[in-house]
Every structure is written in C-alpha cells, then in structure tokens.
Amino acid sequence: MYSGFDSNVGGINVLYVVICTHNVRNGFKRHWSFTRSAGEWALLPVPPYKSRGKEESSMKTKEISLIAIIAALYAAMVIVLAPISFGPVQLRLADVLIPLAALFGLPVVYGVTLGALVANTYWFMSPIDIVLGALANLVAGYIIHRYKENLVPASAIASVVIGVIVGGYLWMFFPPPSILGLQLPAWLGMMISVSLSSLVAVAGLGVALVKLLQQSKYIEQLNT
C-alpha cells in the first residue's frame, strides 16, 4: 500500500511517497518514505513499529503470568505455614502479598484471590471458608489497588475488611480467643482477633515490603 502528496518547498516541487508493507508472519509493519526533488529520489528513514495487537497480546501474557506467580506463591505460603495460617489466632504471612496490588495492579488482586481459593481448598474446612476467604482477599486487594496513593490507610482498611469477613464466619468453627479478658460475643471477638493479625501482615509487613520494592531499581524493570 502507498500514499503520496506534492508540496512546494522553496519553489521546488517535492513529491512525498510512503510505502507500507505488512509482514504478517513477523507481526510488524515497516514504512518506507521517499522524496523526489529536482528529479532525484532519496530514501528517508522511518523507524519500524510493532503492531498494536502484538503489544496488547504481550501485555496480556505478562499479566496472566503475574497472576499465576502471585497465586502460586500465596497458596504455597499458606500451605507451608498452615499452623499459623488457620485457626482463631492466626498470622497469615501470605497476606503480605496483598499490598503489592499498589505496585502491580489488578493481577495481584486476582492472584491473591486465586491463591486463597487454592489454599483454603487444600486445607478444606468448609465451602464457606473457600468462598468467603477468597472474597476477603479480593475486596482487600481491590481497596489497596484503588487507593494506592494512600497506601497505609488503605492497607489498614483492607485489614479490617479481612477481619470482618473472615471473622464473621470463623467463630462458627473455632471458639474465639479472649480479647483483654472482655466478655465479647463470639463473632465480635473473632472479628477483632483476625483484624489485628491482618493489620500485622497487611498494614505492617505488607506495606514494608512495598516500600522496600519501591526503593529497588528492579521494580521499574518489572513494570516495563
């Protein structure tokens, strides 16, 4: 395919012709530009560019890979650290991955959700735990992703969300721990317990991990 037009530069008629070739196999287009002035042709350099479709496909592959990595890492941490990842008093260290949604976006949100689904299925307690446990991560991760400019408050709110959702059903399977010796309803005591542990993992360790990665020069390479 080609296109061309005439213009007058300094009284000299100049013909510009652009020839575009499309290499289907390699997935890119190449432009050739010629000018004709005073009866002579000259080749003008026009850099090749990648097709938009190929760039979008590459980005989609990168996002899917990140989802798989986060999901596998989350599930592995929960399964290996099961003694402290389940129960009325728990510290789910895998939750430190949730604030990474502030750096890498929705792939982390989907990854920690899928990871919780896999881990809670592996250590099966109830369908409620599988569904609501994954939902808690989905909501918490999205809050951090949506309000990443205010990472610490967003992480604190996300921690409470996890505590409310998970603690809201966990009391049906475990007796709640004592909170400062207070006689609290079972559901409330469990919500407070899970919220406190989530504050340590998400708003404490998770935010520290994000800050550490932000200072690393490798974070820019991962986002390109």
Contacts of residue 14, defined as CB under 8 A and 6 or more positions apart, other chains included, come to 6, 7, 8, 35, 36, 37
Residue 11 has what pLDDT?
45
Residue 49 has what pLDDT?
53
Element spanning 22, H or E: strand 12-23
Residue 187 has what pLDDT?
94
Q: Which residue has the tokens 């070739």?
A: 21
Contact 75, 119 (CB under 8 A): yes
Q: Is 3 exposed, middle or buried (CB count within 10 Å of its CB: 0-12, 13-18, 19+)?
A: exposed
Residue 60 has what pLDDT?
87
Q: Is the pLDDT of residue 104 over 80?
A: yes
Q: Which range has the worst mean pLDDT, 47-56, 73-82, 99-108, 121-130?
A: 47-56
H helical segments located in the chain: 52-80, 82-85, 101-104, 106-122, 127-146, 151-170, 186-198, 207-214, 218-223
- What would the mean pLDDT of 132-139 be, rounded to a whole number? 98
- What would the mean pLDDT of 158-181 be, rounded to a whole number? 93
Q: Categorize the per-residue pLDDT at 92 as very low, low, confident or very high, splitting at 50, 70 and 90.
A: very high
Rounded Cα distance, 102 and 186, in Å: 34
Residues in the chain: 224
Summarize pLDDT for 35-85 with one digit per residue, the tens.
444 455 455 555 555 555 655 676 688 999 999 999 999 999 999 999 999
- Between residues 181 and 137, which one has the greater pLDDT? 137
- Between residues 45 and 151, which one has the greater pLDDT? 151
Residue 176 DSSP one-character state: P
pTM, rounded to two decimals: 0.73
**Residue of 58, 62, 3 lying closest to 28 (CA atoms):** 58
Summarize pLDDT for 191-211 with one digit per residue, the tens.
999 999 999 999 999 999 999
Q: Is the pLDDT of residue 224 over 80?
A: no
